[in-house]
Chain A
């Protein structure tokens, strides 16, 4: 304990009191395989930055003796593994968020589990991160879970990677070991589109190259991990080119004279007087006021959460999206997306879920499971189902139009979750990707697959409502065609005439059906696409 307190005092001198103004914020996560030392690394970072208080260190000393895996030394992982199940088993189950600051930056770090079983918690941590520290055990090199986490980070558009080659103390800081792992990762990550990859040899247990550069790896000339985290420029979190968009979260209507639309601006900038469209219906109006508790604003931009009032009396409700007049953001009820499946019961085409994107909730049906993605080879593979922790590309059909964009263009309008209708579990994390289907058509050389996809578009996927309707139509047609042919044959004495009349009849039916159903709708006095809330249940 004494040595710990002494080195803490040193750490406080190094970093001093954080200057809290003008701070930028970096959100990152640690990921990698089981036992690669993620929690130990975060514990070490917190400790070196003076974010571990003396009473917590006292508790850590006691816990290290009881649960620790480091013999007589402090087990830094116990600082972050907060649940008793985690401490007993010595593993991380759930994502934990930790907070620390240096004079240069504030940090929010998500410590995520390495076990495959808990991959969904890693994906959760990655969804809000600017950077990922991917740990690799120097003795083991890249493992399946390392590749999986690299892929998830890439999919969720975490643009910056630190490849932290840990436990370098055990391999005597061998440069050859480090170089080989770095080469392996370069090969793996070639298609993953990271903006930066920085490899650092570390020992989380001993602190080498964590906060301070280590003398034990003289061949390494780069920054320590903390120096890198403090200085890396991760750029703007959101491309601003998308123009103004604000999902309406809540309608603020305190009295008859005020009606405002509250939400968090997801992109762009707005001023009073600007023209806006309200999607999905597309009405136009102008912004009258930008109302906040601190007074009306002359403008507001991405990340702010004001209340907007409009110049016209327009029906706007939660789930609608206000966009700039020239915005290309569109709406629709069919969405192609990548999904990450998070529960035991598998995903299958035809299943129905609750869909939530920004402030919109809708009923959704998985229309097509296009393919799964192998997390090892990153290749598309045909699949009938997606198991827990599986990735795939699906087409989803909604019971009402949603306003969405590609995840690559908007994290707010491109991300969604699927929820089980019965037990309310979150079953999937989804990313809108309109390119996924197009790429696939170009990729798939096999004509049979293309034929199948075409057929599925026309007649629906097995098990869906569309297919059921098609089958019932086909059987009605077949059942009526036989007696018609027979009747014409009997009447005219010519089997050929029978076939011709039947063929004309079948050809005319879709026209009659289309006319007939629209006539029925007119008669009922409502349009099919204005099925009100809850219509899908």
Chain B
């Protein structure tokens, strides 16, 4: 008798969490951010509900500043799998001209991501939303429950979280309250890549090294994905071999110089890396507890 491997245990746990959510909620939804964690989450969902179709739609909160390759990948994925995809943009933010260059990263994230997400959840009355966040990503996420309850205003209260022993999830909520559910809580970045390799899961090509037009700005390599990024006097666009460890809004996501153009090379590079995954995420660095504050306000 062979004992299940580490990845098989993680897979079964995630499937269990997804089924528990669907069995106990009225209107579940999966937050689909197009990144590698979303790809794994979607793949696990297909497994959890097989041979049935996904019993929930995917929701992408489009800040209008995602990499073009991400949007192409998103639409191709929805078409290939025949899943129901909802794309939501915060139209008020678009009208007000909010963007990372004009408004700064903090306001842009607040309005286009956090506000946009809350609008979409309210509009469709979703009462449980899957997210691909992992506890190993960031300190305050390490303290988050698998079933994380939010008030009607979507606030997270880190001080009054319910105990969550064993796999016994307390899925009860009052009207208006909702859950953010994190099936990948116990996965690490390395687990995600190993699983992508094992299961042959498609991911956005931006994760693999290629020559891309980048600008060095404030110590980060920013890919100039469209003409909305205006160059400062001393800046120039260079074609460098780069890849991305995480994907977000292109002006807020730093590339890393890399030759890793294949999955094996990415995995090898990652396991010898000395910087954390979110280091390229500019929004994480607005103060040491800034992720915790964003989460309290309703960010994932």
Cβ of A194 to closest chain B Cβ, rounded Å: 20
CB-defined contacts of A176 to chain B, threshold 8 Å: none
Within 8 A of A (CB), among B1-33: 1, 3-6, 8-9, 11-12, 15-16, 19-20, 22-23
Q: Are B163 and A124 in contact (CB under 8 A)?
A: yes
Asked if B159 CB lies within 8 Å of chain A CBs, one says yes
CB-defined contacts of B165 to chain A, threshold 8 Å: 123-124, 127-128, 415, 417, 429
CB-defined contacts of A59 to chain B, threshold 8 Å: 288
Binds B, one of A246-254, A391-399, A521-529: A246-254
CB-defined contacts of A137 to chain B, threshold 8 Å: none
Q: Are B289 and A87 in contact (CB under 8 A)?
A: yes
CB-defined contacts of A416 to chain B, threshold 8 Å: 168
Q: Are B12 and A424 in contact (CB under 8 A)?
A: no
- Beta-carbon nearest neighbor of A252 in chain B: B52
Q: Are B51 and A258 in contact (CB under 8 A)?
A: yes
Q: Are A293 and B46 in contact (CB under 8 A)?
A: yes
- Beta-carbon nearest neighbor of B194 in chain A: A20
Q: What DSSP secondary structure best describes chain B's contact surface?
A: loop
Binds B, one of A159-167, A299-307, A324-332, A474-482: A299-307
Q: Are A305 and B16 in contact (CB under 8 A)?
A: yes
Q: Are A127 and B166 in contact (CB under 8 A)?
A: yes
Within 8 A of A (CB), among B241-279: 268, 271-276, 279
Q: Report the bound CA distance from A123 to B165 in whole Å.
A: 7
Give chain B's interface residue range (CB within 8 Å of chain A).
35 or more
Binds B, one of A50-58, A196-204, A511-519: A50-58
Asked if A120 CB lies within 8 Å of chain B CBs, one says yes
With contacts A55-B279, A97-B186, A250-B22 taken as known, whether A82 is within 8 angstroms of B163 at the C-beta atoms is: no
- Beta-carbon nearest neighbor of A53 in chain B: B276
CB-defined contacts of A62 to chain B, threshold 8 Å: 288
Q: Are A83 and B292 in contact (CB under 8 A)?
A: yes
Within 8 A of A (CB), among B173-199: 173-174, 185-186, 188, 190, 194
With contacts A53-B275, A121-B163 taken as known, whether A250 is within 8 angstroms of B23 at the C-beta atoms is: yes
One digit per residue, 1 when the CB lies within 8 angstroms of any chain B CB and 0 when it does not, for chain A 391-427 equals 0000000000000000000011001110100011110
Selected from B48, B143, B194, B289, the residue in CB contact (under 8 A) with A94 is B143
Binds B, one of A98-106, A139-147, A183-191, A218-226: A98-106
- Count of chain A residues with a beta carbon within 8 Å of a chain B beta carbon: 79
Selected from A83, A318, A354, the residue in CB contact (under 8 A) with B172 is A354
Q: Report the bound CA distance from A263 to B18 in whole Å.
A: 11
Q: B residues bordering A, Cβ < 8 Å?
A: 1, 3-6, 8-9, 11-12, 15-16, 19-20, 22-23, 46-53, 135-136, 138-143, 158-159, 161-168, 170, 172-174, 185-186, 188, 190, 194, 268, 271-276, 279, 288-289, 292
A-B contact pairs, 19 of them (CB 8 A): A12-B274, A17-B272, A20-B194, A55-B276, A59-B288, A81-B139, A82-B292, A83-B143, A85-B159, A99-B136, A127-B165, A258-B51, A264-B167, A293-B46, A293-B50, A303-B4, A305-B19, A417-B165, A429-B165
Which 7 A-B residue pairings sit nearest by Cβ, starting from the closest?
A: A82-B139, A254-B52, A127-B165, A53-B276, A293-B50, A293-B47, A84-B289
- Beyond A22-B5, A250-B19, A305-B16, 10 additional pairs, beta carbon < 8 A: A25-B9, A53-B274, A83-B139, A84-B289, A98-B136, A236-B3, A359-B23, A415-B165, A423-B174, A429-B163
